[in-house]
Amino acid sequence: MTNKSFAKFILTSLCMLFVMLLFAGSTAQGFNPLLVDFAIGQEAPGFTLSDIEGKQISLESFKGKPVLLNFWATWCPYCRKERSHLNDLHRKYKDKGLVILSISTDRSLKKLKKYMEKTPADFIVLSDTEGRVSSSYNIIGLPSSLLITREGIIKYKFTGFREWSSKGSRELIDSLF
């Protein structure tokens, strides 16, 4: 095999692997390249993090309620854009029991607090300065979100901006109830 044909073989193999990974995100509703479902059906890893006031919050304390877990950072433009959609979603679903836990991956709690003063959230904001929780959820891009059932099972995982106030997103949330 010549160097040229070997390179072609490697490139073709990598392309096929990429396509297979994309289609791993297929659902009954059709292909969604932003849906990353490798964790779907698994129990959500437990964690305890501090909110911006220092209060300890654990995922386990919300067992019995559906949870939207959202990973973001202050420097991420798509995360900032997603904030208003999450605020809208929180207002619409808080009385139904949906819990939104927004986990900042910023390394500086000081920067996070400063950002939150300017851009408040209507939901719980936690700080993962060490990256321990984002690593346990295999977060590879921001923003990333997971929908977790009342039983603590990951039902959906998304990487990238999502309009949480859209009809399609509301249908996903409704499926948790």
Active site residues: 79
Rounded distance, CA 162 to CA 145, Å?
Answer: 9
* CB distance 155 to 176 below 8 Å: yes
Q: What angle do CA 125, 78, 166 make, to 5 degrees?
A: 85
Tokens 């990238």, located at residue: 160
CA 154 to centroid of chain Cα atoms:
11
Rounded distance, CA 145 to CA 69, Å?
Answer: 5
